[in-house]
Amino acid sequence: MAIMQSGKRRARWGRRLPRILSAAILAWVSFSRPSAAQQWDPEAAETALKQARELRKRFSADQPAGTDDYVRCIRLYRRVYLSDPHFPGSDDAIYEAAALYQEMAARFNAPEYDREAAQLLRFLLKDYPTSQFRPYAVLRLAAMGPARAGPPTGVPGIPARPQARGKDVQSESRAGPGPAQSPAAQGTARAAAVRGIHYRSAAEYTRVTIDLDERASYQEQRISNPDRVFFDFSNTWLVLDSNDQAIAVNDQFLRKVRAAQHRPGVVRIVLDLGQGADCAVSEMSDPFRIIIDIRRGQSPVSPRN
């Protein structure tokens, strides 16, 4: 009898063993597999960033963007850092989305968009301590002031990254010296961003358009040998892809356009002119932009404050 019971126990154990092994293997695979939060998608992030920037380039005076256009572009930027917060362009997406929110606030007279921008800028400062956009974010927040930026809050829909332990924005803005202590940041004017440079060649002239998200003061100066004119924009930051910071034109009036962050808070844009070419400069609003028409035989550019 004892032998029969022992045989039955071995038989039951033999039937259970495959199930136990299967469960153990499944548990090991589940434990070793990354969690859903760790399965980032850098390709989706890169695609979303390209789509957002392409859409943003379409915002122009000829086809002014509406609220839906801005929201669609911001959602694409949001998809970048939600797809992969470690993607190299994630901090770019956060900063450029904040700049769009500020542009919406100015265009549609809607202060709630300023608060959305402030939330994104605070998120950038907190979770991306090595981002190149940190001084720009500090300057923008300081220029906005607490009335427009609102109290510090979280950003809905953005996963927390506890491994990033940065300073909060208030302590960052009090630290000195740095961009937060610049005269522009202490004043009431909002910092502007150069968000696009475009040109159009025609038979009689070449037109260069510089798009900004805020009105900015600037100085212009002409230099000879080689012939060029440059524009220094005050309280302004460069928000352009590296590929868009040098544009080769090579027509009879204009050789090249170059843009750079000359120093903190000052963007310099240089136009390398063709032989005998002169410039006529005008401004347009909503959105603010500088129009430079380059022709042959006009009066040279005079410095302007």
216-234 pLDDT per residue, tens: 999 999 998 889 999 999 9
Asked if residue 247 and residue 289 are part of one domain, the reply reads yes
pLDDT at 72: 93
Domain of residue 171, residue span: 41-186
278 and 220 share one domain: yes
Specify the CATH number for the domain of residue 240: 2.60.40.3500
Domain count, the chain: 2
Residues 246 and 171 in one domain: no
| 169 and 139 co-located in one domain | yes
**pLDDT band, very low/low/confident/very high, at 148 (cuts 50, 70, 90):** confident
8 domain residue, yes or no: no
Query: Do residues 241 and 281 share a domain?
Result: yes
Asked whether residue 167 falls in the same domain as residue 209, the answer is no
Is 22 among the domain residues?
Answer: no
Q: Which amino acid is at 203?
A: A
Task: Kindly state whether residues 58 and 171 are assigned to the same domain.
Answer: yes
In a domain, residue 23? The reply is no
Residue 21 in domain:
no
Domain assignment present for 32: no
Residues 144, 202, single domain; the answer is no
What are the pLDDT digits (tens) for 259-285? 988 887 889 999 999 988 999 999 998
- 281: tokens are 């400069």
Last residue of a domain, one of 122, 152, 186: 186
In a domain, 6, yes or no: no
Choose the final residue of a domain: 131, 165, 186.
186
On whether residue 109 sits in a domain, the answer given is yes
The amino acid at residue 207 is R
196 and 176, same domain (yes or no): no
Tell me the average pLDDT across 57-82. 83
Q: Does 170 have pLDDT greater than 60?
A: no
Q: SS3 of 121, please?
A: helix
- Angle (CA) 242 246 250, round 5°: 150
Specify the higher pLDDT residue, 22 or 186: 22
Please indicate, yes or no, whether residues 75 and 162 belong to a single structural domain of this protein. Answer: yes
Would you say residue 122 lies in a domain? yes
Q: Which of 186, 215, 232 is the last residue of a domain?
A: 186
Q: Which residue, among 180, 279, 160, has the nearest Cα to 230 in the 3D structure?
A: 279
Contact of 87 with 131, CB cutoff 8 Å: no
Name the pLDDT band for 135 (thresholds 50, 70, 90). Answer: confident
Angle between helices 111-127 and 90-108 (to 10 degrees): 160
Residue 61 Ramachandran class (φ > 0 left, ψ -120 to 50 alpha, else beta): alpha
